[in-house]
Structure formats: structure tokens, C-alpha cells
């Protein structure tokens, strides 16, 4: 098929969820990994899921359907297979699928340990992709088996199919140079040759359209994005034999890449009109000759589309574009399958929501209204208007008390604590800790017993009192263990928490916890983000009973454990009707109320975790400063309600801290524990460079591995740390919570950690 004969389409989505409405893929893949099912059974589950998705999209009325959007683990890893870039260390694994899983997860094959590829966050979503490795010897070689098989399998549905691939600029920008290779983006022209080969092949197979995803073009992560886009798509667009090319961008607004793409011979450009504005389109006259795929339905959040507003946006697009297609802003991979599966939502809240299936319906309705006039979808628009109106007046979204309390705290300057030095003196007098105090990050192993108890409670096999007692026993055991280990600042161990965000969301007003709202986080791991829909407040204390029970068992200080406002936002579906900053302040107020109650109950140390501080950092440089301002303010609002002699800790992990290091200092926590075991204490130098002068606990060992560290290596780490930080400021702790570890690993590791602290103390 040639470009000219590819029929236009009117309604589509950029991709779909793939883990299965009941997490069927997760279960099947995990069974395959543990040899409980074979390849045939796994493939059958996958084929059923693909078939169901396809039929649902076609039945709903989309006239172009994405394929190659299924994945056994991750679409970036699939792209690495397609381009032939898997690293040589996985080559000995002979079976193709097992090799793929070895790249994703590592493992032992024929007695040889294979390290997995790294995993990192996909832009600013909670999805994680497998980072391609580009070494000096990496070659590119087309391996189109998966894409061809999925096309073939789908061909019977009778709707136009559109293979989706990750674009070359995004692929290389998100890759990592290994083995001393130069930055991967330098290999762009070479890689584009493989894309050219693929496009020819797809044209031979009769494919009308191909979707090439280039989300990196909405970020500031590549230099000269516009010039690169123009070079790549001029070349691919200039191929004599190819399908029509649709370059999809999402998660934000294009700047100079938009006119650049419009200058190339490609047929369609996808723009995100939920997270980017529509006005920029009119400044690009060349769009008059293009199809604009208008992402007007939010693909990554769960709110119902305001259809009337979306139709207005589409009208604006029409004035700039030659042709308009209605679409989601990005793949709906990031939202749950369908609202139909949710029970226990009140009707008002339900009417404000749209999950994956509902978003497809919205796209189809909008395409119809756009083509035939608003009257053609009068009923749908009416329902949408009613939802918009009810959301606007619902009292749960506008709590005067919450709002005035925040205003009062701000105007009283009560988001700041006393001087750090005064706080330190007051806390030293109250706590009387040894130099280099030892502590842990909060959680102790979530043992099988704990998990079984939680499942039994949910299934009604045990009553709440029995469950509470089991958890209290667990707390008592953890306190006893820490005393035996001679740790200085204890924790209760967090046995009662399923998840550090959901636990709080379940107790706060303004949140709704879904029953079935699973989304893929990475591989077979799924999460169920709570929906933050209203003004947030804390109707009752959330953690005080647990912490004060733990404190009652010991004379040593027990640290209260809370999750910070930014992390709660980062791991939830957050309301889109007010700035994130305002929502963060409300969550912060609820946490503040909890800190005050903890203090009142006699707790002297409170940790407010912010592991996700880096995660919400905007993709565009010009928006970063504003984010850092409000996220820091939220933390301070949450923590400045306590007295000077109450010690505030925070904990950060999971990321490169470079861009947020100044913000970490600005949090002004008395003690910051920070992941550092893998970055060799560099983080301390970085903190010094921004004038950080409070307490700091650089993780002295990596809890992400089952390996038990010996005393010497931690002694060495502490001596290194003392070169950067005086002993009065240095804390000793692991680099993250211990919940994923086994009990005996934890006991041994902590024993060594305490020994190391004592050794270094004695050297002073
Ligand atoms: N307090 C939490 C825990 O120990 C912190 C978890 C995290 O950093 N993600 O589990
Ligand atoms: Zn952590």
C-alpha cells in the first residue's frame, strides 16, 4: 500500500492497558517464571487478552486500532528486541522469550548469573521501562517477528490496524551508554536506517498507517529536538515505499519540534491537548497540509472528559490542521481497564470518572460530534455537562475549613520552624543520643504471616480485633528485635500498612480507594493508585495508636512514620480541577495534624517520607522552579506544626537527586536519610555544595539485594561519610525500608550495621 491509498481515520487511542482486566497477564507471566505453566499456556492467555482488547476497540467504533501495543513485560524492551540491541550478556539464553525475561529481570541460566538491564520511570508517569544499553559494539538489526505476528493475528478483525513503535529519537534519548560508548543519540542516523527498513517491510505487508511514538519531543531532555525531528522524519517521510506515518507525541506540549515535524513529509502529528495547549497549533501554517491527531481525552488520569470543552478544542484544531482525528492524549496503559468493575462508588463520584473503556467511548462520541455536529451527540454532551456541573458544586470538593486553615497557617508564617541550631540544641537535650545514632527507615519485613493475616481479614476469615492483635504482636516483636540489636532510634515496623500511600488514602477524606483499579507499574507489578477527588482532610488520627503502642514497649525513642504530601500525590490519581500545589497543601495539612497528635502522644521523632520528590519534577525546565517551590512548601507545611524539640526526619530514595538537591536542603528536615549505598556517598558532597547543614543518614547498605553486607564495608562507608560530614550530623541507617527483605537477612545486616557504627564511634 502506498501513502496515497492509506485511508484517513477519525477516532483512535494511542495504546491500551495490557495486563488484563483481572491482571490475567500478571498471573500467567508469574506462573511461567516459576515453571507452573508452560509457554503454550502463557501464549494462549496473551492471545486472548490481545483479541479481547482488539474486539473491544473495534466494537466501540474506533476506525484505526493500535497493534504491537501488547507486551510481556515492557514496550521499550520490545523495541530493543525489534532493533536487535539486547546486550551480549543475555545472548547465552537460547530461548527467545527467556532471553527477553532475562534482560528484564536477570537470573541464573546454566549456572551463569545474568544481571538485568536497569529500569527507570517512563517520563513523569508511574510506569517504569527497561533502559536500553548502547555499547561501543552494539549493532542495530531489524527483528520484526513480534510486530508481524501481532498484525497477522489481528488481521481478521476487519478494522484498519496501525502498528505502534517507539521512535528513534525517544529510543536513543532514553537509552544508556555503556562500556565507554558515547551518548546513544549520536547513533541516530544509523538507527534510522533500521526504521526505514521496517517501514518498507510494513508497506509490503499492506500496512496503511504506522504510529511512531516520540514523547521525548515534549521534554527538554534532548538538545536540538526540533532539528533532530526534522532530520529523522524528512528521511523516513521521503522513503519511496512506506505506510503513512503518524508521529505521536504526548505528556506535554511540543515547542520547536512542532513546526519541525510539520515541515517534513509525514502525514500525521499527534499532539497532547490535555497536558499541552491548543494555541500553538495556529502558529504553524504547515499543519494545514497535515492530519493532526488531537489528544483531547486524558489518557493518563481518570477524569471524565468535558465533551463540550473538548469539542471547542477540536474546533480550534480544525482551523490549523488539514484534517483532524480524535484521540486520547497518550496510551491508556496508565489507567485501569473499566469503571464497570468498580463497586462502592457513590453515583456523583462515578459520574466524574472515566477509565480505559470509558475513554474509548468518549473518543468515539467526540469524533461523531465533531463530524456531524453537536446535536448528533446531544445526550452524551448533556451527561457530560451534568457531571461537570455536579463536580463543581459538590461540597466534598470545597471544604471552607480546610481552605481557611491553610490560609491562616501561611499568613502566620507557620510553614517555617524555629532556627535549625535552636532545634538541634533542644532535640539533643531531649533525646540524648550517642554520636552516629543508628536507625532504620521504617518498615520491617512484610512476612508471609502478615500478608496472610491481611488476606484473611479481607476474606472475612478473621475479625478486625484478631487482625489488630496480630499486628500488635508483630510490632512488639520488632521493638524487641531492635532493642536486642541495640539500635538507638526505633520504629514500629509498619506491619499494618499495605502500601505507604494507600494506607493514608484509606483514612483521609477526599480520597477513594478503587477495588479493581490496577495499572501496570512495571513488568508484572501492578499498583492500585487511590483517587484523590476532593478537598483532603483527616477526620481522625491515623498512626498514633500504633506508634504510641510501640513507644509504650520501650524506653528508647520510637520514630513516628508518615508519608509526605508530594509522595501521596505522585502515587495517586489526582483531581485536575485545581493546581497540584493547592492539593498538595491540603494533603500537607492532614499530615501536619497527624504530626501534632503524634507529638502530643509523647513521640519525639517523626519521619515524613518523600521518596517521590523527584518524580513529579516537570518535563520542561521552565516549569521546574515552580514545582520545587510548592513541593518544598508542602513539606514544610506538613512538618512545621511541631515544637523545636521534636525531631523531624525525612527519607528520599529511588532517584538521581541532582536536580532536586537544593530542594532537599530547603525541606529543612532535622535529619534526612537518603539512598546512597550505590552512589558511594557522592550525595553528601552534593548536599554540602548546596549548603545543607542538618543531620543526614546516607544509606550504608543497599536493601534492594538479599546480600548481607559485612561490618567492614559499612565501617568503610561511615569513615568515608565522615570525610564529608562531621560526626554530630551523621546518622547510620540502611538506604530504604526493609519490607521486601527476609527476616534473617535483616537481622544479620542490622547487626553488622550497629557494629560498624560502634567501631567508628570508638575511633573518635
Ligand atoms: N518508611 C517507608 C518504609 O520503610 C519508606 C519506603 C520508601 O522509601 N519507599 O517502607
Ligand atoms: Zn526508600
Per DSSP (E only), the strands in 308-420 are: 323-328
| pLDDT average, residue stretch 537-558 | 98
Please determine, for residue 2, whether its predicted confidence score (pLDDT) is greater than 50.
no
| pLDDT average, residue stretch 728-752 | 96
pLDDT of residue 157: 87
Percent of the chain with pLDDT over 90: 94
- For the ranges 229-243, 523-537, 604-618, 668-682, the lowest mean pLDDT is seen at 668-682
Q: How far is the CA of 72 from the centre of ligand 1 (A)?
A: 28
Question: CA–CA separation, 78 vs 185, rounded Å?
Answer: 19
pLDDT of residue 655: 74
For ligand 1, atom 5: residue with the closest CA = 737
Residue in 442, 563, 702 to alter for ligand 1 test, most ligand atoms within 8 A of Cβ: 442
Q: How far is the CA of 333 from the centre of ligand 2 (A)?
A: 26
| pLDDT average, residue stretch 460-481 | 97
Burial 573-607 (b: 16+ CB within 10 A, else e): bbbeeeebeebbbbbbbbbbbbbbbbbebebbbbb
User: For residue range 84-102, what is the model confidence (pLDDT) as tens digits?
Assistant: 999 999 999 999 999 999 9
- Phi and psi angles of residue 578, each rounded to the nearest 5 degrees, phi first: -155, 160
Nearest ligand (C-alpha, residue 442): 1
Atom of ligand 1 nearest to the CA of 567: 9
* Catalytic member of 75, 649, 651, 704: 704
How does residue 419 score in pLDDT terms, banded at 50, 70 and 90? very high
User: For residue range 229-251, what is the model confidence (pLDDT) as tens digits?
Assistant: 999 999 999 999 999 999 999 99
pLDDT of residue 130: 96
User: For residue range 714-737, what is the model confidence (pLDDT) as tens digits?
Assistant: 999 999 999 999 999 999 999 999
H or E segment to which residue 192 belongs: helix 188-204
What is the pLDDT of the chain when averaged over all its residues?
96
Question: CA–CA separation, 192 vs 318, rounded Å?
Answer: 32
Alpha helix stretches (DSSP H) within 399-519: 400-411, 420-431, 448-458, 464-485, 502-505
pLDDT of residue 678: 61
Please determine, for residue 1, whether its predicted confidence score (pLDDT) is greater than 70.
no
Percent of the chain with pLDDT over 70: 99
How does residue 599 score in pLDDT terms, banded at 50, 70 and 90? very high
How does residue 649 score in pLDDT terms, banded at 50, 70 and 90? very high
How does residue 292 score in pLDDT terms, banded at 50, 70 and 90? very high
Q: How far is the CA of 655 from the centre of ligand 1 (A)?
A: 14
Of the candidates 604, 596, 601, 597, the residue with the CA atom closest to the CA atom of residue 556: 604
How does residue 603 score in pLDDT terms, banded at 50, 70 and 90? very high
Mark whether 704 is an active-site residue.
yes
Q: How far is the CA of 653 from the centre of ligand 2 (A)?
A: 5
How does residue 4 score in pLDDT terms, banded at 50, 70 and 90? very low
| pLDDT average, residue stretch 269-279 | 97
How does residue 654 score in pLDDT terms, banded at 50, 70 and 90? confident
Contact 501, 530 (CB under 8 A): yes
Ligand 1 neighbours, Cβ below 6 Å, are 441-443, 494, 500, 561, 609, 611, 651, 653, 736-737, 739
Amino acid at each position: 500500500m502506498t501513502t496515497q491509498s492509506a485511508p484517513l481515520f477519525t477516532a483512535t487511542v494511542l495504546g491500551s492497558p495490557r495486563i488484563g482486566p483481572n491482571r490475567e497477564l500478571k498471573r500467567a507471566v508469574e506462573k511461567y517464571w516459576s515453571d507452573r505453566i508452560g509457554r503454550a499456556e502463557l501464549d494462549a492467555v496473551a492471545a486472548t487478552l490481545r483479541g479481547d482488547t482488539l474486539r473491544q476497540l473495534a466494537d466501540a467504533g474506533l476506525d484505526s486500532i493500535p497493534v504491537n501495543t501488547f507486551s510481556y513485560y515492557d514496550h521499550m524492551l520490545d523495541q530493543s528486541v525489534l532493533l536487535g540491541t539486547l546486550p551480549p550478556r543475555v545472548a547465552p539464553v537460547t530461548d527467545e522469550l527467556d532471553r527477553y525475561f532475562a534482560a528484564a529481570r536477570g537470573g541464573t541460566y546454566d549456572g551463569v548469573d545474568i544481571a538485568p538491564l536497569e529500569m527507570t520511570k517512563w517520563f513523569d508517569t508511574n510506569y517504569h521501562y527497561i533502559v536500553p544499553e548502547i555499547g561501543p559494539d552494539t549493532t542495530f538489526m531489524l527483528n520484526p517477528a513480534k510486530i508481524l505476528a501481532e498484525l497477522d493475528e489481528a488481521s481478521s478483525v476487519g478494522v484498519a490496524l496501525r502498528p505502534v513503535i517507539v521512535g528513534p529519537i525517544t529510543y536513543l534519548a532514553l537509552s544508556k551508554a555503556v562500556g565507554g560508548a558515547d551518548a546513544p543519540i549520536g547513533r541516530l542516523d544509523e538507527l534510522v536506517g533500521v526504521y526505514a527498513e521496517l517501514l518498507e517491510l510494513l508497506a509490503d505487508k499492506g500496512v496503511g498507517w504506522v504510529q511512531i511514538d516520540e514523547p521525548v519531543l515534549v521534554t527538554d531532555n534532548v538538545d536540538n529536538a526540533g532539528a533532530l525531528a526534522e532530520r529523522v522524519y524528512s528521511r523516513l517521510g521521503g522513503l519511496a515505499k512506506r505506510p503513512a506515518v503518524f508521529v505521536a507525541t504526548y505528556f506535554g506540549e511540543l515547542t520547536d519540534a512542532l513546526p519541525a515535524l510539520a515541515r517534513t513529509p509525514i502525514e500525521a502529528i499527534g499532539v497532547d491537548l490535555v497536558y499541552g495547549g491548543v494555541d500553538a497549533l495556529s502558529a504553524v501554517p504547515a499543519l494545514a497540509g497535515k492530519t493532526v491527531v488531537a489528544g483531547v481525552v486524558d489518557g493518563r488520569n481518570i477524569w471524565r472528559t468535558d465533551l463540550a470543552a473538548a469539542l471547542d478544542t477540536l474546533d480550534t484544531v480544525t482551523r490549523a490542521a488539514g484534517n483532524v482525528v480524535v484521540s486520547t492524549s497518550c496510551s491508556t496503559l496508565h489507567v485501569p481497564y473499566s469503571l464497570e468493575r468498580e463497586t462502592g462508588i457513590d453515583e456523583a463520584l462515578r459520574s466524574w470518572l472515566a477509565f480505559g473503556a470509558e475513554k474509548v467511548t468518549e473518543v468515539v462520541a467526540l469524533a461523531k460530534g465533531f463530524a456531524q455536529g453537536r446535536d448528533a451527540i446531544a445526550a452524551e454532551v448533556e451527561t457530560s455537562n451534568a457531571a461537570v456541573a455536579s463536580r463543581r458544586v459538590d461540597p466534598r470538593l470545597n471544604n471552607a475549613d480546610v481552605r481557611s486553615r491553610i490560609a491562616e497557617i501561611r499568613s502566620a508564617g507557620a510553614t517555617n520552624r524555629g532556627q535549625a541550631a535552636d532545634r538541634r540544641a533542644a532535640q539533643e537535650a531531649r533525646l540524648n543520643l550517642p554520636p552516629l545514632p543508628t536507625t532504620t527507615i521504617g518498615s520491617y519485613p512484610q512476612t508471609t504471616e502478615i500478608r496472610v493475616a491481611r488476606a484473611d481479614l479481607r476474606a472475612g476469615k478473621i475479625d478486625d480485633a484478631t487482625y489488630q492483635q496480630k499486628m500488635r504482636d508483630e510490632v512488639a516483636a520488632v521493638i524487641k528485635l531492635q532493642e536486642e540489636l541495640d539500635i538507638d532510634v526505633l520504629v514500629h515496623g509498619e506491619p499494618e500498612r499495605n502500601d505507604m500511600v494507600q494506607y493514608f488514602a484509606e483514612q483521609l477524606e477526599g480520597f477513594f480507594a478503587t477495588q479493581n483499579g490496577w495499572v501496570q507499574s512495571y513488568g508484572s507489578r501492578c499498583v492500585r493508585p487511590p483517587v484523590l477527588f476532593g478537598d483532603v482532610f483527616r477526620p481522625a488520627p491515623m498512626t498514633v495508636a500504633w506508634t504510641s503502642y510501640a513507644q509504650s514497649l520501650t524506653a528508647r525513642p520510637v520514630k513516628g512514620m508518615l508519608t509526605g504530601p508530594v509522595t501521596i500525590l505522585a502515587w495517586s490519581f489526582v483531581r485536575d480541577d485545581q493546581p497540584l500545589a493547592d492539593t498538595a497543601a491540603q494533603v500537607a495539612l492532614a499530615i501536619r495534624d497527624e504530626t501534632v497528635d503524634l507529638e502530643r502522644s509523647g513521640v519525639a521523632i517523626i519521619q515524613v517520607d518523600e521518596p517521590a520528590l523527584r518524580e513529579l519534577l516537570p518535563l520542561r525546565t521552565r516549569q521546574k522552579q515552580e514545582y520545587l517551590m510548592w513541593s518544598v512548601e508542602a513539606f514544610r507545611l506538613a512538618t512545621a506544626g511541631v515544637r523545636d524539640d521534636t525531631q523531624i526526619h525525612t527519607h528520599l530514595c529511588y532517584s538521581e537527586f541532582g536536580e532536586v538537591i537544593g530542594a532537599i536542603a530547603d525541606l529543612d528536615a532535622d535529619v534526612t536519610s537518603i539512598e546512597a549505598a550505590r552512589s558511594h556517598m557522592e550525595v553528601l558532597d552534593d548536599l554540602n555544595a548546596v549548603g545543607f547543614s542538618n543531620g543526614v543518614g546516607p544509606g550504608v547498605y543497599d536493601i534492594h539485594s538479599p546480600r548481607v553486607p559485612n561490618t567492614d564495608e559499612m565501617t568503610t562507608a561511615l569513615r568515608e561519610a565522615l570525610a564529608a560530614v562531621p560526626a554530630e550530623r551523621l546518622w547510620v541507617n540502611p538506604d530504604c525500608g526493609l519490607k521486601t527483605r527476609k527476616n534473617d537477612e535483616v537481622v544479620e545486616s542490622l547487626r553488622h550495621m550497629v557494629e560498624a557504627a560502634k567501631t567508628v564511634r570508638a575511633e573518635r
